[in-house]
Chain A
């Protein structure tokens, strides 16, 4: 199950400047685990010290928020896109 993980701009510096990465994964959790294994610097931005996804980072499979699916256990299939969407606030300054 090859899935594509989209890496948002604020996190690309910690992912070798890549904007996406592909992994074989059966669940969202597995894909994110592969991602943070390959890009160790990403781990602290995505996960707390006890391994939970940070609350200001949302993850989607295709266009659905995993909080409304099965969270990190959400199954993924070939061709799925996982989007990481962190909270951003820029706009005025």
Chain B
């Protein structure tokens, strides 16, 4: 399960390397596992990167360095200051630029001999098949469940390998889906978690170097596939625990009843993945919890007026150290156990960083019988925006 066939497209396959290329890739060429033949396979290969962020950074850099002849970069996002902690393709001067374009510039500088096409577009069910069809390998460097299922399904429908990597805080997963007779993403996870249950990097945080490691693993697997060497991760789920510095491997079986790649496929076209993942309209900001709210300005007015409000902070201790509203700190994960610290006769305003965790806290407390409880809409971020800009945002 380690090789792929490169499709014949209209363009003629390159048959030689220039002297410059021979010099540039000399460290590849002197290895019998690569040689001229292998380097030409790379030169004639076309790889599409979905996402040019944390995972996409090492992916783009190493695939460009290796001489993959055509790289497609799909990302609709703009470089943000907070990206620079981990998205190492970008520099400070790229803040505000489209990521796909900034990445294209950087990778072109690294290797002007390859073709790089930037797609400043959101990947959707309407454009995925068209986008994918001219590439040999698709690499999933995205950050949300709907897109991961979309990438998977499009790859299965088109018969393209999908080099998968995902991360969370200190852990990563990697494998290769979509190989002939191999499993697909739905074999591993038939359904996604409901929105809001697993925090994004923005909410949960991530060690910047983690996507660097997992993305590099994805680059390695892509190159192995293109060269047809080594043992691919197809059929294995690689788990990486950065804190313990442990790699573990689990068997990843093809599900014979998989609706996408099984013997009796029931999914024959791309679907609405946001609906599938339970997300309505624009990316849902968090759990679908309706709770009574108070805006930062309203809270400020009431505090200035001398109202007796109990401020409950449901963030983590290390966040409290960054900035706080002098609230009583009970991290959300400890609330069930520490609810006795709260006086239900007092009016409580719960807050977190952006308003999502505190919405869960308010929902829980209301179900526990608290009647005078409000969620601070937008959290301490909104407080900084609307009331007190000296409070740092993070």
A residues with a Cβ closer than 8 A to B are 8-10, 13-14, 19, 40-41, 45, 54-56, 58, 60, 63-65, 67-68, 83, 85-93
Contact = CB atoms under 8 A, between A and B. Distances in A.
Contacts, number: 122
A88 B211 CA distance: 13
Contacts of A54: 193
Interface string B306-335: 000000000000000000000000010100
B271 to A, nearest CB: 17
B170 interface: yes
B264 interface: no
Most chain B Cβ neighbours within 10 Å, of A45, A56, A68: A56
Interface of B: 51-56, 75, 77, 83, 140-145, 148, 165-171, 173, 188-193, 197-202, 204, 206, 211, 214-215, 237, 239, 241, 243-244, 248-253, 255, 331, 333, 336-337
Given A9-B171, A14-B333, A90-B200, A56 B251 contact: no
A10 B296 CA distance: 30
B81 to A, nearest CB: 13
Contacts of B214: 91
A10 B198 contact: yes
A52 B83 CA distance: 38
A87 B149 CA distance: 12
B170 A9 contact: yes
Given A65-B251, A91-B51, A9 B191 contact: no
A89 B250 contact: no
30 contacts: A9-B168, A9-B170, A10-B169, A19-B241, A41-B336, A45-B197, A54-B193, A55-B190, A60-B250, A63-B251, A65-B251, A85-B239, A85-B250, A87-B145, A87-B188, A87-B198, A88-B198, A89-B143, A89-B168, A89-B198, A90-B143, A90-B166, A91-B141, A91-B211, A92-B51, A92-B54, A92-B55, A92-B144, A93-B83, A93-B143
A83 B250 contact: yes
A89 B142 contact: yes
A57 B239 CA distance: 14
B322 to A, nearest CB: 18
Nearest to B191: A55
A9 B251 CA distance: 20
